[in-house]
């Protein structure tokens, strides 16, 4: 069996689900526009540059979960999926996932974005297995902190290895391992799989792909 791993933001999605979630909440009046929008933009630029402080960023993002009632934030998430996320999914992204499904490959999404937002997105693609950065919960309430290791940069490798280990597997358990990503932040994991694919790549990943001879695809 093969394993096909997909990044989410700017790979299967035409845009960033975390960044757009913040913009959505601003429009809904849950967070103050001027201060939050400026901070959100700075974090987004840091991510693209490859120097994001993921703990600071998640503390910033998870405060929204902590400071609102669970039923309210879940209802808003459902609305966000319908209004914002579905239009962000290009046809070719569905087709890419389906091509691996038809071959009988194991499917996994791995993303730095929080799992509260991304697990339902995985279900839209019919992919139940997703590794994301998990917001900590105690007694059903969000604390505003990260639970465990963020799935960011080298953290994606650690989280993937732990996920596989729980099943008695490693990457070498699969005949072929694919990873599709757009970002320089995912180069560590791209270097670990047998079939790395630069997907809608940023400039740094495009250059790396040229040097390594990795295939490049665009989904929009």
The H-or-E segment that residue 181 falls in is strand 177-181
The Cα 59–Cα 186 span in angstroms is 22
- Structure tokens of 177? 């391992």
| Residues known to be catalytic | 7, 9
Name residue, tokens 């929009």.
220
Return d(Cα 7, Cα 207) in angstroms, integer: 19
CA angle 17, 18, 21 (to 5 degrees): 80
How many angstroms separate the CA atoms of 72 and 51, rounded? 33
> For residue 43, what are its two tokens?
């974090």
**Distance between CA atoms of residues 91 and 107, nearest Å:** 18
């Amino acid at each position: 069996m093969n394993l096909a791993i997909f990044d989410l933001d700017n790979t299967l999605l035409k845009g960033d689900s975390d960044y757009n979630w913040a913009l959505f909440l601003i429009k809904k009046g849950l967070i103050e526009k001027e201060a939050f929008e400026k901070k959100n933009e700075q974090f987004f630029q840091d991510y693209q540059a490859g120097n994001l402080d993921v703990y600071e960023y998640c503390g910033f993002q998870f405060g929204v979960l902590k400071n609102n009632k669970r039923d309210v934030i879940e209802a808003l998430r459902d609305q966000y999926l319908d209004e914002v996320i579905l239009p962000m999914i290009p046809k070719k992204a569905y087709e890419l996932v389906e091509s691996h499904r038809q071959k009988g490959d194991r499917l996994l999404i791995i993303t730095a974005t929080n799992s509260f937002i991304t697990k339902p997105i995985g279900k839209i693609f019919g992919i139940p297995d997703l590794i994301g950065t998990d917001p900590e919960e105690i007694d059903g309430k969000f604390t505003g902190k990260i639970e465990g290791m963020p799935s960011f940069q080298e953290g994606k490798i650690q989280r993937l290895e732990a996920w596989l280990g729980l099943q008695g597997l490693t990457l070498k358990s699969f005949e072929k391992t694919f990873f599709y990503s757009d970002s320089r932040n995912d180069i560590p994991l791209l270097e670990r799989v047998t079939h790395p694919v630069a997907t809608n790549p940023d400039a740094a990943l495009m250059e790396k792909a040229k040097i390594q001879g990795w295939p490049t695809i665009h989904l929009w």
